[in-house]
Amino acid sequence: MVANGTAIHLLMRILLVEDDPMIGASVREGLRQDGFTVDWIRDGVAAEAALAAETYDMMLLDLGLPRLPGDALLERLRARSSALPVIILTARDAVDDRIAGLDAGADDYLVKPFDLDELAARIRAVARRRGGRAAPRLRHGEIELDPASRSVTLRGEPVSVSPREFALLTALLERPGVVLSRAQLEQRLYGWGEEVESNTVEVYVHGLRRKLGAGLIRNVRGVGYMVPKA
């Protein structure tokens, strides 16, 4: 099981673009409790600047934004050939609005008010599709990770991991054989304003090795960490 009932499907850093303070705060807190790293922006111009300065794995986009409407931001994003996954979150519930949003390049469209668990499930589904993976579970040898139930098992037995251990493990299992640098891992584990300790990645790697096997995660000296292909 994942400690405290919180986890993450992917090691994901999400940009939330929402001008309503109550909705924005609720979505950010709910997704953070679910283990996602979330940066919250309240207008389209600031969101465009954030996208230019930071690397995100997904954007949650309201349409009725000040300064630059969400549909215009999406249009600019796709005009630059950006493949960033986008889920529209809006009160516009007409069929024509949904069609327009999806045709403009959104990967999904969710009408307010919505359930946070459904939003998390849609984020996972979009991430799977974009990653070319249909199966929700990740398997590596005798290890199985289930993002929906937020559980990790080793030879069929549950293993207790912390939320960030879960996040780190998911990222590595998603891309076996690919080396992820310490900076890449830290960027997605922590959002704006969160303090990152100097040895934080090493601590989580050590914990996972202790629980799942010393040979699971390899350190590529001077580069980063990887899980070898099974």
The percent of residues above 90 in pLDDT, for the chain, comes to 59
Asked if the model's pLDDT at residue 10 lies above 60, the reply is no
The architecture CATH gives domain 138-226: Orthogonal Bundle (1.10)
> Which of the two residues, 89 and 172, has the higher pLDDT score?
89
> Which of the two residues, 109 and 81, has the higher pLDDT score?
109
Look up the CATH number of domain 3-130.
3.40.50.2300
pLDDT in tens, 138-189: 889 999 988 767 789 999 999 999 888 888 898 888 888 999 998 888 876 7
Mean pLDDT, residues 118-133 taken together: 82
> In which residue ranges of the chain is CATH 3.40.50.2300 found?
3-130
Category of 195 on φ-ψ map: left (φ > 0), alpha (ψ -120 to 50) or beta: beta
Asked if the model's pLDDT at residue 9 lies above 90, the reply is no
pLDDT tier at 109, thresholds 50, 70, 90: very high
d(CA 137, CA 97): 33
d(CA 69, CA 176): 39
pTM above 0.95, yes or no: no
pLDDT in tens, 37-66: 899 999 999 999 999 988 898 999 999 999
**pLDDT given at position 188:** 67
**pLDDT given at position 3:** 35
**pLDDT given at position 192:** 62
d(CA 168, CA 185): 7
> In which residue ranges of the chain is CATH 1.10.10.10 found?
138-226
**pLDDT given at position 186:** 81
